[in-house]
Chain A
Amino acid sequence: MAQAGTKNRPLSPHLEIWKWGPAMAVSILHRATGTVNATAGLGVLLWWLGALVSGPEAYATFTGHATSWYGMILLFGITASVFIHAASGVRHFVLDIGAGFELDINKVWSVLSPLIGIALAAAFWAVLLLR
């Protein structure tokens, strides 16, 4: 950035100048989780289906990775990403009909959406592992 004569001039508002708030965080989180779902999520889904078609041996290789410590961490991450994206996606549907833009209620759902997603992911894994 050119510095000459700019010392006291106002900065144009860009990413780094805003104070972080819940609405910004949930927006970037929605994009980040969507990207994870589209790449890692769909990738694992195809691997699972391909392993099923290829037979019990290939499926055993898949479940071997899926039930290892790194596989469980990765799968929990993907599950949390899917549920967080779903929760903030429902938030988007509400915003789409023009509701939920009042400052305080907007803040509440910005905070709650990712928490609901994480809670759903935790509940899914609790039922899966404890049944």
Chain B
Amino acid sequence: MGNGTSIGRVRGLGSAKSGTHHWLLQRWTAIGNLVLVAYLAVSLLLLPNLGHAAVSEWIARPVPAVALALLIVSTFWHARLGLQVFIEDYLQDANRLAAMIALNLVTFAGAAFGLLCIVRLALGGA
């Protein structure tokens, strides 16, 4: 020790081991959510009707399909980060561990299901 910058000598040594990564990811995904939810809301209002044919025809198009797939990733990621804070604040010990495992499984499963639905609609499997 004794060489390197002062930040380099202390980085990673705190009790949390990392700094603003979680906080930054929450913000990056929040920007994604803002843009993509606004896109979904405006698109739903611009559709001629919300019947099965009109909606599935819309989602099958490339731009809506990609936007909705990104919406799934961004919202589920953001939800996972937010619910993690919720769990850390209100649960302790074994309950916290169990809740975190369940949270990871549910958010990954939910996002996978959403993406599969969009792929099937986009590639004509449905």
Binding site for B on A (CB under 8 A): 31, 34-35, 37-38, 41-42, 45-46, 49-50, 52-56, 59-60, 63, 82, 86, 89-90, 92-93, 96, 124, 127-128, 131
Contacts and interface: CB of A to CB of B under 8 A. Distances in A.
Contacts of A63: 50-51
B118 A49 contact: yes
15 contacts: A38-B78, A42-B79, A42-B110, A46-B110, A46-B114, A46-B117, A49-B113, A49-B118, A49-B121, A50-B113, A50-B117, A90-B34, A124-B45, A127-B45, A128-B45
Contact of A42 (B44, B56, B75): B75
A68 B72 CA distance: 26
Contact of B30 (A35, A89, A131): A89
B110 A53 contact: no
Interface residues of B, number: 33
Contact of B27 (A54, A56, A86, A96): A96
Contacts of A50: 113, 117
A131 B56 contact: no
Contacts of A46: 110, 113-114, 117
Contacts of B72: 45
B120 interface: yes
B12 interface: no
B126 interface: yes
A70 B86 CA distance: 28
B76 A42 contact: yes
A127 to B, nearest CB: 5
A52 B86 contact: no
A58 B87 CA distance: 34
